Amino acid sequence: MKRKITFILIIALSSIINAQDIIYKSDGGEIKSKVIEITTETVKYKNYDQQNGPIRNIFLKDIFMIIYEDGTKEIYQKKSDKTKEEQIPKNGTLKIEKGPYTNPSNNQDLCFKGRQDAVRYYTGYTGAGTGTAATTILFGPIIGLIPAVACSTTPPLESSLTFPDVNLSKNTTYYNCYNQEAQRIKSKKVWTNFGIGFAINLSLVVLIISASSGGY
């Protein structure tokens, strides 16, 4: 019976930690949500921190991408031919601002690419996630909260960002969006590992108590 209770607790805890969809808007904003339904024109969702609240709507044309709780993603917005044409003046000459990749008409695309590349290439969360899980398993959730909070609120190290294109990373818009997404990924992984460590620690405690009770 105690083992069944432990199993249920593990499943419940995992669901709470991972049940979050991220909607990335075309203006660079993001919505932490639970997607309810996707129609031909809109996405219906509830705010993640208001899951008993009202169902909200956002137009597909205002969405760049959705990353679901299981890590899968869907890209919705595509650049129109008009947008492409606007980037090339009639005289065939592009006006380049100072610094690499700073054409203002590309800022939204650069931000989107930064976030997308972070999802694909950023893996610098491994040490923080593993350390949090190990501490929680060995010393319990109260002590495990210390590295969990510290690691989830600390920006990723520059050396851990693993940009796929070093030259592109020199662009401020791309860099900031990549870094923000890397921070979100790191935070989510750390708290997921904290939850896993908590579940394992709880299972071990229950098994020890069960074994001790069986000896009497």
Band (194; pLDDT cuts 50, 70, 90): very high
pTM of the predicted model as reported, rounded to 2 decimal places: 0.57
Band (99; pLDDT cuts 50, 70, 90): very low
Flag the least confident range among 13-27, 35-49, 74-88, 90-104.
90-104
> Per residue in 14-72, pLDDT tens?
555 556 788 888 877 788 888 988 888 899 999 888 878 899 999 988 888 888 877 77
> Per residue in 156-176, pLDDT tens?
888 888 888 888 888 888 899
Phi, psi (degrees; rounded to nearest 5) at 210: -65, -45
Nearest alpha carbon to residue 32 among 17, 21, 19? 21
Asked whether the predicted pLDDT for residue 215 surpasses 80, the reply is no
> Per residue in 40-54, pLDDT tens?
889 999 988 887 889
Q: State the chain's maximal CA–CA distance in angstroms.
A: 90
Task: Name the residue with tokens 């590309």.
Answer: 106
Residue 186 CB burial class (10 angstroms; 0-12, 13-18, ≥19): buried
Which domains are seen in the chain, by residue range? Answer: 21-78 (2.30.30), 101-216 (no CATH)
Please compute Rg for the chain using Cα positions: 22
Q: Would you give the DSSP letter of residue 129?
A: H
> Per residue in 200-212, pLDDT tens?
998 888 888 888 7
Flag the least confident range among 94-103, 108-117, 119-128, 183-192.
94-103
Specify the pLDDT at position 135: 93
